[in-house]
Structure 1
Amino acid sequence: MVMFAIANAVLSVFPIVSQFRGIARDDQVKILYGIDPANPPDFPGQPLAKFEAKWSRGGSKDYPLWYERGGYVLDGLPLYPTKPDNPFPFLYPPFAALLLAIPSSLGPYGCVLFLVVVNILSWTACVWLASRLAAGDGPVDVTTVLVPSTLWALFVYDMFHVGQPNLMLLGLVLGGLACLRSGREIAGGALFATAAAIKAFPVVIICYLLWRRYWTAAASMLVGTVVLLVLVPAPFRGFERNLDELQLWASRMIPRTDAEGLGQRAAQAQAWKNQSLFSVGHRFLRPVDADGDAVREKLPDGTYAPHTPLYVNFLDLSPTAAGVVIMFVAAAIGLGFILIMPAYHRRTPTSDSAEWGVLITLMVLASPIAYYYYFVWLLYPVTVLVHRAVVDPARAVRRGTWAILAVSVVLFAIMIFTMEVPHYIQAYGNYLWASFLMIGGLVWHMRRTAKPVDGSVPLDSRFQPVRDYTG
């Protein structure tokens, strides 16, 4: 615990210092009390543009945006631009903006500290929940706690540096899975609903709940999501206004398969930084510039340096045809997951741990946008694999699991240590293939630790007593 506390302190120091320096350099930092809420501009935040640009130079990434949008809620300003040609600076549902009003009310320094503390608590919860879920009914080995956090330290640090909520979302999902294991389906569904209402992509977990017959959890998640998106913001934003903003957000954020890309920010959606199945698929199936979001150098004459497109496509399909192919591939992967799941009567706590690792990995890959920080979610699959590499009774299995982890980590590290252009390795989807390799290892252990068809003892019974398990 002492080492973990030190790690938390180290990871949080640089983001806090860099953001505080950025705030201190900017005398324009303030919430938008100078804007008339009765007559706001279509694209709110014009007086804040200078503040955001200056603060961003301090390396604070998304922290100014969170402070800004929370300020919009406090001042009753519109959250999204209504003109179709204005992109969304804030890509989250209105409920997320409502939550951001809490740290924004503390001022810029308080906002940063609040969000850093949330990340510290989230990381602590994720490590504890991941190790407990990975161990099933067995004891938690110290290796299961320390090794995954060490391997994934750069991803965790990025949550502090960028300020994204993905670590908190992982904690909510792992908490929901822990509730399922203990039979508290209503609480589990509520945690899943909270994650989906903050950042939409976790909503796909409801498909798993329905297939595994967690009827109560699925109903709880559905009702909870509606309550959080529709009813909770109503007292603060107004019922009709919240519905209008929710509808506007949904209409502009639903993924598209046309030439403009997936949802908002078309160039970024198809660029090498996006490692989702949809983005890599489009890069393979049609000629899209994998470096389309590159920052071009401004020349002395005011023009920009020429840009060399990066193409990695094997085919030249239309956007619609590519979208159809990708949907078929995604459906095939989902069907394959269903087919390889152990039957209901063959499930064990250990097989469920690996099954949930596959689920979480697929949730990341199935998101239309999966930037590098999304893969902090793979902290849990890594924890499962590390645990099996330590406790599996077969020496060959332990070695094979360590080998899978080693190759996967190398593939992930390629993006970190090869950031120079051109980004061919990343454009070909190194994170995607590393994730698929992890899925292969998880499936191996999921099948290995399930109850055999004849009802005999699973292979891992030396370390974990088998009991009747109904989920």
Structure 2
Amino acid sequence: MPEAGPRRHVLAVGAVIMVIQLVRIIQRGVGDFKLHWTIGGYLIRGEFLYGNAGWYRGYGGTDFPYPPIWGIVHAPLALFPRAVAQTLLYPLYLIAFVVLLEVLNRLSLPHLPVDRKRKFWLTTAAVVLASRFLIRDLPECGVNLALVAMAWGAVLLWRARRDRLGAVVLGTATALKCTPALFIAWFLWKRQWRIASWSAAVALAMSVAPALVLGPTEFTRTTAFWMHNLYRGASQTDPLESTLGPVSVQNMSLKGALARYLMHVPEGHRSRLAGPLHIDFLELDAETARLTINLLFLVAGVGVLALYRFRAGRNEESMLWEAAGISLMILLLSPITWGQHCVGVLPALFLLVRAHDSGRPLERWMYAFVGVWAFVLLGLNRGFVGREFTLLLDSYRLQTWLIAGLLGVTLRCRALCLRPEWASASPHIEHSDVTPKIVPLSRPAAEHS
């Protein structure tokens, strides 16, 4: 086939990137995996799970933002040297990547059909737009990509009316890392009681499961320490402080981004880049800035809840755009958002590319936004402009504002898809991948649980 050549070239580029990252892993141990491996080692050696070692010295211990079950999961890997363990886990990235793309494809096919010949290139376009964050998750061996795949896999299972299995997947993801709990809250708000309640039950059961390994006394001590540090971070009165201490320029949390513009950032602070190119905009005191940020969050939250308030059928397109919005809100609302966490942008970009190809009437400003996204995240990356200029851009939180803008695009598409002209714009697709066996539809008479 004449198209096979270009496809092989694309796949070859992807393979080269994965090999390069694997070499960096073996040689230098890049990424946060060493923290995950360390906490697993503490468990095997019978030491306190959040011992005072590692990068977070002075802020309560090693890797303490993760729950105790994180140590249980990584304990088997701690039996090997760090480089060997990271190499053994590395294939998880490829598995999570393929699973997530397949889940997104199955969810979108009934609404955004695509010709088989075009599916590969449309997927490639979405992956390229998200590549800055996807590459950053490679040293983490795809754990963040796996969590996104689990959350969206739960959505696919829910749409297929397999609520129990979906709850197991979503509950497990929530136990491993708290942020997928926003999907449980979304299901609850949409009055999908079964998957919401069962997911919460699974998350609770998985969260207490480490007691079987640690014992009741040590588990209670470990969990109390973990929750205390999370509470301490959440109750900070200074918006420029987080669970890990001062908010750094690489932290893409929306709270930190707003604080950067509302407050004076002192010399030497991790949110300030040294040199004359730093500009303070407002100089509110910490308490006023905190109240202002909380008010902005409240207004935005009420607006999203009002937009999402209508109960929709399991197979309606609006649910996909809402779920994509949830993935983006997780990144913005989390107090700690690193580049590897931002693989959560992929579902929204995937849907946007498919909507364009399906002839949906996207608005002009959306195309302009995608152009800005590509210019900043692909053109102004470290490989082209250098580390210092990249840190300068990070200090102004451009990536945070782009994610917020993508959320705006997603919410607008959610509103547009409810209009009759949205669906009528879909072109006729020959040889589509849509088949009833692959994409189960919910029964019309039983749309809601």
Question: Normalised by the shorter chain, which TM-score bucket?
Answer: 0.7 to 0.9
Question: Within the alignment, does 1:337 sit opposite 2:311 as a pair?
Answer: no
| Residue in structure 2 matching 1:315, options 246, 258, 282 | 282
Normalized against structure 1, the TM-score is what?
Answer: 0.78
Say if 1:130 and 1:383, in contact at 8 Å, map to a contact too: yes
* Structure 1 portions without partners, runs of 5+: 22-57, 297-306
Cα distance change, pair 339–172 in 1 and its aligned pair in 2 (3 A): same
Contact 1:138 1:463 in 2 (8 A): no
Distance in 2, Cα, partners of 1:430 & 1:203: 26
CA distance in 1, matches of 2:325, 2:261: 24
Question: Which residue pairs with 2:137 in the alignment?
Answer: 159
2:209 is equivalent to residue 235 of structure 1: no
Distance 1:81 1:64, change over 3 A: closer
What is the Cα deviation at residue 443 of structure 1?
2.2
Q: Which has the higher contact order (CA 8 A, sep 6+)?
A: 2
Asked whether the 8 Å contact 1:186–1:217 carries over to 2, the reply is yes
SS at match of 2:90: helix
Instruction: Judge which range, 249-258 or 314-323, deviates more.
Output: 314-323
1:451–1:457 contact (8 Å) kept in structure 2: yes
Mapped contact 2:360–2:422 kept (Cα < 8 A): no
Letter in 1 for 2:70: A
Shift, 1:435, TM fit: 1.7
Greater mean deviation of Cα atoms: 150-159 or 215-224: 150-159
Residues 46-445 of structure 1: pairs in structure 2 closer than 5 A: 58-81=28-51, 85-90=58-63, 91-140=65-114, 141-163=119-141, 165-230=143-208, 232-254=209-231, 255-259=234-238, 261-267=240-246, 269=247, 271-289=248-266, 292-293=269-270, 312-341=279-308, 343-344=310-311, 349-394=316-361, 397=362, 401-413=366-378, 414=380, 416=382, 417-418=384-385, 419-420=387-388, 423-445=391-413
Where does residue 18 of structure 2 map in the other structure? 12
In structure 2, distance between residues paired with 1:96 and 1:342: 34
* Amino acid in the other structure paired with 1:265: L
In structure 2, relative to structure 1, the CA distance for the partners of 1:63 and 1:363 (3 Å cut) is: closer
Please identify, of 96-105 and 280-289, the stretch whose mean Cα deviation from structure 2 is larger: 280-289
Q: In the aligned structure 2, how far is the partner of 1:294 from the partner of 1:345?
A: 42
| CA distance 1:252–1:82, shift in 2 (3 Å) | farther
Q: How far 1:470 sits from its partner (Å)? A: 2.9
Partner of 1:302: none
Partner residue of 2:437?
none
**1:243-277 deviation digits (Å, cap 9, x = unpaired):** 2211211111232332385443222x2x2211211
What's the CA shift string for 1:94-142, capped at 9, x where partnerless? 1011100122224434311222111111111122222332334553433
Flag the 1:74–1:463 CA change in 2: closer, same or farther, 3 A: farther
**CA separation of 1:104/1:385 partners in 2, compared to 1, >3 Å: closer, same or farther?**
same
**What CA distance in whole angstroms lies between the structure 1 residues aligned with 2:313 and 2:238?**
45
TM-score (norm 2): 0.82
Tell me the alpha carbon deviations over residues 305-354 of structure 1, each in whole angstroms, 9 at most, x when there is no partner.
xx659755433333233222212211222221122337325886322222
State the 1:222 CA deviation: 1.2
Distance in 2 separating the partners of 1:6 and 1:104 = 32
Distance of 1:226 and 1:237 partners within structure 2: 17
Distance 1:272 1:353 in 2: 32
Go from structure 1 to structure 2 and tell me whether the alpha carbon gap of 1:62 and 1:275 turns closer, same or farther (over 3 Å shift). Answer: closer
More deviation in 236-245 or 443-452? 443-452
**CA pair 11-415 structure 1, distance change in 2 beyond 3 A:** closer
- CA deviation after TM superposition for structure 1 residue 66, in Å: 2.4
Q: Which runs of 5+ in 2 are unaligned?
A: 1-6, 435-440
Name the counterpart of 2:3.
none
Q: Give the letter for the 1:386 counterpart.
A: V
Cα distance in structure 1, aligned partners of 2:406 and 2:340: 17
| Structure 2 CA distance for partners of 1:124 and 1:218, relative to 1, 3 Å | same
Write the letter of the residue equivalent to 1:237. Answer: L
Check conservation: 1:408, 1:435, Cα contact below 8 A.
no
Distance in 1, Cα, partners of 2:410 & 2:207: 34
Higher mean alpha-carbon deviation, 161-170 vs 75-84, is at 75-84
Further displaced range: 148-157 or 5-14: 5-14
Paired residue secondary structure (1:420): helix
CA distance in 1, matches of 2:29, 2:272: 17
Matched AA of 1:87: G
* Contact 2:157-2:165 at 8 Å conserved across structures: yes
Instruction: Give the aligned length.
Output: 417
More deviation, 401-410/174-183: 401-410
- Offset from partner CA, 1:345-381 (integer Å, 9 cap, x none): 5886322222211121111111111122222110111
